[in-house]
Amino acid sequence: MSIKQWFAGALLALASAGVSAQVYNIDPGHTYPSFEADHMGLSFWRGKFTKSSGKVVLDRGSKTGGSIEIEIDAGTVDFGHAKMNDKARGDEMFNVAKFPTIIYRSTALKFDGDRLVGVDGEMTMLGITKPLSLNVTHFKCIIHPMLKREVCGADAHGRFDRSDFGMNIGLPRFSPEIKLAIQVEAVKAD
């Protein structure tokens, strides 16, 4: 094989690899990370964040399967209880004055055929970055009837220990384990 043939083949491979990657922008009106935490074994407090942004790159032909990056506005935490919302925004919990965003970045996407089934990644909260894997229990892409563009949606779940991020309020009365759920929809970019 000549250098010319090798170079042409390499360019073709790069071009076809680039074509397989598809970029989707997170739809903030249909994406809500939510969580639940044990309240002294009596009940579970549930909350969500009402503002997030980011993008998803699906590249089933690559080793990582693409990438996901979601930025969550920590100041939009909502328990459905104004007094609790104020406490959660304070320095004992999310400390939004100092750490206004929570960021999740994938390191690898896992597929079963064309279906996304898991995400390995890292979450940065309160200035601390820790590994966080998500199980994807639902994944579907359709041509949206109103947008006339491809939209993908997923439901992902994971667990983490809030004390790993320095959120120690109420320990040990309140369990440090947090159950995380993310409903997400993303619109294919032009």
d(CA 155, CA 90): 29
* The CATH classification of domain 21-188, taken from the options 2.40.128.110, 3.40.50.620, 1.25.40.10, 3.90.650.10: 2.40.128.110
Task: Give the pLDDT score at 149.
Answer: 95
Average pLDDT, the chain: 89
Residue extents of the structural domains in the chain = 21-188
Residues 6+ apart with CB under 8 A from 58: 21, 22, 24, 65, 66, 109, 116, 152
Task: Give the pLDDT score at 174.
Answer: 86
Pair of tokens at residue 162 = 């809030």
List, for residues 85-107, the tens digit of each pLDDT value.
999 999 999 999 999 999 999 99
pTM of the model: 0.85
